[in-house]
Every structure is written in C-alpha cells, then in structure tokens.
C-alpha cells in the first residue's frame, strides 16, 4: 500500500512537471509550462525559505522590512540562488509571441541587477549590526539603493504584466478552454 501511494505521488509530480522519461531527445526545461511552474514555485517558496532559515539558524522570528534585506542576513545564499535561478529561467523563457520573450527577458535581467545592486543595510534599520542573523555590511550608497528599487520595480512589474496579460491569453475558443483558464480571464476582466 505504501509503495502504491509513493508511485502515485511520483506519477503526479512527473505529470505536473511534464517529465517524460521515455523520450531521450527532449530537455526537460524546454517545456514552457515547466518553466512557468518552476518560476511560480520559486517565487512562492522564496519568502518562506528565507524566514524559515533565519528562524532555524538564528532564532530570528520577525520579518524584515523588505525581502531584499535578507541579502544582508545568513539567508543571503538562499536569496541570491533562488533569485538567480528565477532570472535565468525568465531569460530563457520563449513564450508564444516575441513580446512574451522580451518581457520575460527584461524581468530576468532586472532580477540579476537587483542582486548586483543591493538595497540599504539592515543594520541601520534594525540598529543591530552584531545581531546573530546579520552577516553582511556594505557602505551606504544612495545611488545603489535607488537603482535597486528601480530594478526591483521593473522586475516585479514585468512579472505582474506576464501574470495578468501573457499567461491569461488563449488561442482556443471560449467553449474549448479549461475552467481554470476561463476563471483566470474572468478575474482579469
């Protein structure tokens, strides 16, 4: 019974991620549905992972002012790796039309830029540079912080545009669309 449940959950995961082990000529990540899902899962998991990591490693239980402030904490490898992976996936996402690729590529580039130009230090916000969760300190630079906010805004606006206008499009007549696609379009209108 336990083996059957394990096989069913593995099969569901393979179906959700479009894994097909019978084909050897296809790279798994070339499937746009897979890229979309991975970007979504990473985006949803990022704040949870950051908070959980600081809670477990430093017993820090309050959220920081901005998700970007996790760059200055012990959780910064998670922040950098997850945002970088999202950026790479966004930059290789082709989409159905050229505008899909351009918007996605812009989102990916600005995700990398917001990592290269971090926000202001949490030591100033928290007044505690020696806290157990704080590990990085960079001299304040007004230009860097402003550029970070611009990069973050463009990144998030690009993702917002893709969510509202790219992923809700359908080339099928309304009668042939799935109920999920119809409810997405209803939500937007």
Query: Could you report how far apart the first and last alpha carbons of the chain are, in Å?
Result: 46
Q: What pLDDT, in 10s, does the model give residues 38-55? A: 888 999 999 999 999 999
Average of per-residue pLDDT values in the chain: 80
Question: In the structure encoding, which two tokens stand for residue 122, read together?
Answer: 């949490």
Cα–Cα–Cα angle for 25, 107, 48, nearest 5°?
90
pLDDT bracket for residue 88 (50, 70, 90) = very high
Report whether 71 contacts 119 (CB < 8 A). yes
pLDDT bracket for residue 106 (50, 70, 90) = very high
Q: At what angle do helices 142-161 and 98-116 cross, to 10 degrees?
A: 150
Nearest to 62 by CA among 135, 134, 139, 115: 134
| pTM for the full predicted model | 0.73
Comparison of pLDDT for 182 and 170, the residue scoring more: 170
């Amino acid at each position: 019974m336990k083996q059957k449940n394990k096989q069913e959950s593995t099969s569901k995961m393979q179906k959700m991620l479009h894994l097909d082990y019978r084909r050897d000529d296809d790279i798994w990540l070339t499937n746009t549905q897979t890229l979309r899902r991975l970007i979504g899962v990473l985006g949803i998991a990022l704040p949870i992972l950051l908070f959980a990591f600081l809670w477990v490693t430093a017993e820090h239980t309050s959220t920081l002012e901005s998700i970007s402030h996790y760059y200055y904490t012990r959780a910064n490898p998670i922040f950098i790796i997850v945002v970088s992976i999202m950026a790479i996936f966004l930059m290789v996402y082709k989409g159905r039309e050229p505008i899909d690729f351009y918007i996605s590529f812009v989102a990916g580039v600005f995700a990398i830029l917001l990592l290269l130009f971090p926000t202001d230090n949490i030591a100033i916000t928290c007044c505690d540079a020696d806290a157990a969760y704080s590990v990085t300190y960079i001299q304040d630079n007004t230009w860097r912080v402003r550029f970070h906010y611009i990069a973050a805004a463009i990144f998030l606006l690009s993702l917002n545009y893709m969510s509202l206008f790219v992923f809700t499009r359908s080339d099928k007549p309304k009668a042939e669309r799935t109920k999920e696609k119809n409810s997405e379009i209803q939500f937007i209108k």
